[in-house]
Amino acid sequence: MQGSFDLLKPVCRQFLQIRIAYLCLMTVGTKRLLLINPANSYRKGYLLRRESKQVPLALGILASLTPPEWSIKILDENFREFRFRDADLVGITAVTASANRAFEIATVYREKGIPVVLGGIHVSSMPEEALKFADTVVVGEAEGVWKQLLRDFDSGNLRKIYSSALSDMNNMPPARHDLFHPGYIFASIQTSRGCPMDCGFCSVPFFNGRQYRLRNPEAVVDEIASVANKLIYFVDDNIIGYNKEAEIHAATIFEGMIRRNLKKEWFAQVSLNIVEKPGLLKLAAKSGCRMLLIGIEAENPDALKDTNKRVNLRLGVDNYQKAFRMLHRHGIVVLGAFIFGMETDSVESLEKRTKYVLSSSVDVVQASVMTPLPGTKLFDKISREDRLLCRNFPKDWQHFHFSDVVFKPAGMTAEELARATDSAYRKICNMNAIRLKFIRTLWNTRSLRSAVWAWNSNMNYRSVGLEKRSEYKY
């Protein structure tokens, strides 16, 4: 009897193992996580052209941090309007302009009893508002609390608020690029977070802190090598930073791209201090840099002082042209970002800014209406002085997309600012102006490829600038 039981032992063990494996298999993928990237349904200019759509990178990073027993899907309104899809847990990210849309989608899920987590830069600055639409709100960079949040979900103990410290960038995993919509032309990669500057209109110091945090450069290069896209957008606020460590970090990444012969073309944001780093600029160009966005903001020092744009003041507005020439010598397109509606601006100064934009050798123009985003010093000031014109929140957040006038400016009426901006858009986005910029870029960079980059980028901004506005009344 004992003998036949011994004979059965391995059979039982094998049966047990198969049973366990089956149960595991049944468990894997049974929890469904839906991550949603909402789009501003009122202004869709950036979504009209594939070239200007930007990957919801934060969702891809959270997906990387999610344990394997979850099946994950990203719903991305950059490509397709939201349609309900069942899930066990929903995570939605939002910037200010897409916050209202995020709340609308969150409401759909909550009405069906599906828990919703809201996060991102807007809800981090206004968590109380977000809590009206979500079960849980993540304040700050979500990576630091994501795994805990999922464990709490498993045990039925989701908290209302998770406050996250700044994440450890050195160990940041690569994003799950496989989950992004295949229609993106640019792959987004992040190499660092944080900015030590303190420009009054910018929410980066509030959300990402004032310390540079740098990712392991080898991990960055591995991530670049892993994506199929030939075109890369480095989403950092300033890829070269302001200190030696950040400069070496950027150089190591560029050298890695050259050494591994990745043959990518890329663009990124930098500050004007790039002119102080000719060696780095050379490496950037060699590694495939085609275009750099520089926060010019304004061509007059008073406006720069008012917004605390210290780096531009230190290097001097008279050196702008020299900076543009340096980039051109390396075949790099200058994407100049300008702001209309600073506190010192008047109708006349905006006319001068428009003339400057058109006559300077900036190749691509990003002209934004000053917008006080929650979390910034500017927002606090404008609110304190009771100058917000769009204030029917959350609906009015959809106007905070840098093309509408949402507050009463200091040096003119809201209508005057709106008219001055419209007039500037019409001149900057005029096809003759874009053709002229193309020829000048070709001449200055001696590169047809760079001129084509400039052309495409100007056409992207044209689709935003000339987009029909709503009937918003001031």
CB of 295 to ligand SF4, least distance (A): 5
Q: How far is the CB of 152 from ligand SF4 (least distance, A)?
A: 33
| H or E element at residue 72 | strand 70-76
Name the nearest CA neighbour of 91 among 111, 68, 120, 113: 120
Q: Does position 185 bind ligand SF4 by CB under 6 A?
A: no
Please list, in sequence order, all residues whose beta carbon lies within 8 angstroms of the beta carbon of residue 285, skipping any fewer than 6 positions away: 330, 331, 332
Contact predicate 331/301, CB 8 Å: no
If binding is defined by CB under 6 A, does position 313 make contact with ligand SF4?
A: no
Q: Tell me: does residue 315 bind ligand SF4 (CB under 6 A).
A: no
Nearest to 299 by CA among 344, 255, 332: 344
Alpha carbon distances (Å) from 70 to 30, 34, 89, 343: 7, 10, 10, 49
- What is the smallest separation between the CB atom of 198 and ligand SF4, expressed in angstroms? 6
The stretch among 30-38, 201-209, 248-256, 416-424 that binds ligand SF4 (CB under 6 A) is: 201-209
Binding to ligand SF4 (CB under 6 A) within 235-254 occurs at 237
- Distances from the Cα of 132 to the Cα of 102, 111, 281, 344, angstroms: 12, 13, 47, 37
Burial of residue 298 (CB within 10 Å: 0-12, 13-18, 19+) is buried
Phi and psi at 454, nearest 5°, equal -60, -45
* Choice between 131 and 313, CB closer to ligand SF4: 313
For residue 347, which of 424, 407, 403 has the smallest C-alpha distance?
Answer: 424
From residue 252 to residue 291, the character string flagging contacts with ligand SF4 as x (rule: CB under 6 A) and all else as - is: -------------------x--------------------
Choice between 75 and 370, CB closer to ligand SF4: 370
Q: Which stretch binds ligand SF4 (CB under 6 A): 42-50, 198-206, 315-323, 457-465?
A: 198-206
Residue span binding ligand SF4 (CB under 6 A) among the ranges 9-17, 31-39, 202-210, 448-456: 202-210
Half-sphere exposure of 398 (CA within 13 A, CB side): 18
Would you count residue 199 as binding ligand SF4 (CB under 6 A)?
yes
Nearer to ligand SF4, 119 or 375 (CB): 375
Provide, rounded to whole angstroms, the least separation between the CB of residue 337 and ligand SF4.
9
| 295 binds ligand SF4, rule: CB under 6 A | yes
164 binds ligand SF4 (CB under 6 A): no
Task: Give the whole-angstrom CA distance, residue 118 versus residue 140.
Answer: 11
Per-residue x/- mask for ligand SF4, residues 436 to 465, rule CB under 6 A?
A: ------------------------------
| Number of residues located near ligand SF4, criterion CB under 6 A | 10
Residue 77 sits in the site that holds ligand SF4 (CB under 6 A): no
197 makes contact with ligand SF4 (CB under 6 A): yes
- φ, ψ at 33 (rounded to 5°): -105, 125
Strand partners, 337: 295, 366
Task: Please tell me whether residue 131 binds ligand SF4 under the rule CB under 6 A.
Answer: no
Q: Does 204 bind ligand SF4 (CB under 6 A)?
A: yes
Residue choice 127, 205, 336, 372 for contact with ligand SF4 (CB under 6 A): 205
Q: Does 293 bind ligand SF4 (CB under 6 A)?
A: no
With vertex at residue 202, the alpha carbon angle to CA 209 and CA 464, rounded to the nearest 5 degrees, is 130
The residue to which tokens 């066990």 are assigned: 88
**Whole-angstrom distance, CA of residue 324 vs CA of residue 469:** 33
Which residues bind to ligand SF4, rule: CB under 6 A? 195, 197-199, 202, 204-205, 237, 271, 295
